[in-house]
């Protein structure tokens, strides 16, 4: 005889069917609610351009609106800092690519970060130099940044072997610098998170604000030597799931989580809050899609590795096969066994380890406008009608309250106050242009 407990646990075909129908109804209702949420978010456009550059730019890596509608532009490809007038029709060269002068650009592409008042920070990742530019793009002075340790952040000089603070990626409304600390690698495996650190220039102290995650499973593998050279293979994930971060104009730090597409906020008073999961149009990746992504990534990585290996194994006194100076040993002595150079390779994880859906964001998907809002560029959007980029605009208090559909071929380069947006368009072959638009309030 069946016990009452067994009877309660027994599932008849009718009960199972009812349960399945209930689950389907719940899933359908959830889909309907998600679709309804998508449809209630207004999608606006932008006005016709009020100003547009006539000269071409090599590659825009940041813009900064200045008083009077002037615009400071970092043309990283041509290694120039330009200051355009209010019409964007003409520009003066503030930092030039010519070496050895008082206004020489860095040897490598640098980044600009809005600083206090009308000043701008100009940074270079290898040298870690941080320069302060005035409203005309001229160097005023170098910025002395604090130092920090890997396992704790300390004031200058209080710990052994301190390191310079990383090149700042953002500045809050109190003038504190924010940057990404280095990503640790242990036993060939890269850590799945990187700290966001903050430096107070008055107290010379650094602290940790939060962390961004990168769930890619990348690792380094030591392979057998080849021709007497050490071989290191980096196994990479072509579709990484990553977080993005930025700092709003009021000092709020925003962390956009790539795992489930929500936003964590660190408010100016230090308190923390979060915005619920944002609606996103998840797109499935088939095995064919995954293979295509791997093949495309391999073409690029193989080309880069050929150049890298040629330079690394050519003496510094000689040009490598691409005409650039070598980075290997010079003459004057034989290398020790196993130290005759190195070969680096890149491989990719098996298709089974690639996500089944496109992640919602990429690493640089978050931007802050000058009106206290977070702009996010999702990897896909159902609101894109003909391939235009559609940005999600989020506020700590309002959540996702607006989407902005850009003209075809345009992307956001930066912002001005009062809904002004600077757009970039063009390509590497013909060059790029900038134009000033405004959010279309009439839509």
On whether residue 116 sits in a domain, the answer given is yes
Digit-coded pLDDT (tens) for 328-365? 544 333 433 444 578 889 999 999 999 999 999 999 99
The top-scoring range by mean pLDDT among 34-38, 58-62, 148-152 is: 58-62
On whether residue 88 sits in a domain, the answer given is yes
- Say what the pLDDT of residue 322 is: 56
On whether residue 1 sits in a domain, the answer given is no
Domain that holds residue 70: 48-143
- Say what the pLDDT of residue 186 is: 55
On whether residue 74 sits in a domain, the answer given is yes
* Range of weakest confidence among 98-107, 188-197, 371-380: 188-197
Strands 229-236 and 342-348: parallel
On whether residue 244 sits in a domain, the answer given is no
Percentage of the chain with pLDDT > 90? 60
Long-range pairs, 313-320, Cβ under 8 A, ≥24 = 313/229, 313/341, 313/342, 313/343
Q: List, in order, residues 6 or more apart from 91 with CB less than 8 Å away.
A: 53, 55, 73, 82, 83, 84, 85
Digit-coded pLDDT (tens) for 393-433? 999 999 999 999 999 999 999 999 999 999 999 999 999 99
Residue 31, pLDDT > 50, answer no
- Say what the pLDDT of residue 190 is: 63
- Distance (Å) of CA 213 to CA 93, 210, 256, 298: 38, 10, 10, 24
* Range of weakest confidence among 212-226, 266-280, 369-383, 391-405: 212-226
Residue 151, pLDDT > 60, answer no
Question: The CATH number of the domain where 98 resides is what?
Answer: 2.120.10.30
On whether residue 83 sits in a domain, the answer given is yes
Cα–Cα distance for residue pair 75/409, rounded to 1 Å: 19
On whether residue 306 sits in a domain, the answer given is no
On whether residue 117 sits in a domain, the answer given is yes
- Distance (Å) of CA 436 to CA 62, 137, 173, 413: 14, 20, 25, 10
Mean pLDDT, all residues of the chain: 83
Q: Which two tokens stand for residue 259?
A: 């795992």
Cα–Cα distance for residue pair 425/27, rounded to 1 Å: 41
Q: Are 406 and 387 in contact (CB under 8 A)?
A: no
How many domains does the structure of the chain reveal?
1
């Amino acid at each position: 005889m069946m016990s009452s407990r067994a009877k309660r646990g027994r599932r008849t075909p009718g009960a199972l069917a009812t349960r399945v129908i209930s689950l389907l109804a719940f899933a359908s209702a959830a889909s309907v609610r998600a679709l309804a949420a998508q449809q209630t978010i207004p999608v606006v456009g932008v006005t016709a351009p009020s100003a547009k550059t006539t000269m071409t730019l090599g590659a825009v890596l940041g813009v900064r609106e200045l008083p009077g509608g002037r615009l400071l532009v970092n043309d990283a490809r041509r290694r120039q800092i330009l200051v355009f007038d209010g019409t964007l029709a003409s520009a003066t060269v503030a930092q030039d690519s010519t070496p050895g002068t008082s206004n020489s650009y860095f040897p490598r592409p640098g980044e600009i970060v809005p600083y206090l008042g009308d000043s701008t920070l100009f940074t270079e990742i290898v040298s870690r130099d941080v320069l302060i530019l005035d409203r005309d793009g001229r160097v005023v002075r170098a910025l002395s940044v604090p130092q920090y340790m890997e396992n704790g952040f300390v004031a200058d000089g209080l710990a052994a072997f301190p390191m310079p603070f990383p090149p700042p990626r953002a500045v809050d409304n109190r003038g504190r610098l924010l940057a990404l600390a280095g990503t640790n690698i242990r036993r060939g495996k890269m850590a799945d998170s990187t700290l966001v650190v903050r430096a107070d220039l008055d107290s010379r102290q650094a602290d940790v604000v939060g962390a961004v995650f990168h769930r890619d499973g990348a690792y380094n593998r030591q392979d057998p030597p080849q021709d007497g050279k050490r071989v290191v293979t980096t196994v990479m994930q072509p579709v990484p799931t990553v977080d993005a971060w930025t700092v709003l104009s009021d000092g709020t730090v925003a962390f956009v989580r790539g795992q489930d597409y929500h936003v964590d906020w660190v408010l100016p008073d230090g308190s923390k809050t979060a915005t619920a999961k944002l609606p996103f149009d998840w797109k499935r990746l088939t095995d064919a899609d995954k293979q295509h992504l791997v093949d495309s990534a391999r073409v690029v990585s193989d080309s880069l590795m050929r150049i890298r290996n040629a330079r690394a194994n050519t003496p510094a006194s000689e040009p490598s096969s691409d005409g650039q100076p070598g980075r290997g040993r010079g003459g004057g002595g034989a290398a020790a066994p196993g130290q005759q150079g190195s070969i680096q390779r890149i491989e990719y994880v098996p298709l089974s380890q690639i996500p089944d859906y496109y992640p919602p964001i990429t690493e640089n998907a978050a931007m802050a406008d000058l009106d206290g809002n977070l702009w996010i560029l999702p990897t896909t959007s159902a609101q894109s009608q003909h391939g235009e980029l559609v940005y999600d605009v989020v506020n700590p208090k309002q959540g996702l309250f607006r989407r902005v559909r850009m003209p075809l071929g345009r992307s956001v380069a930066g912002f001005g106050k009062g809904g002004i947006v600077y757009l970039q368009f063009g390509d590497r072959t013909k060059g790029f242009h900038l134009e000033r638009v405004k959010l279309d309030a009439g839509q």
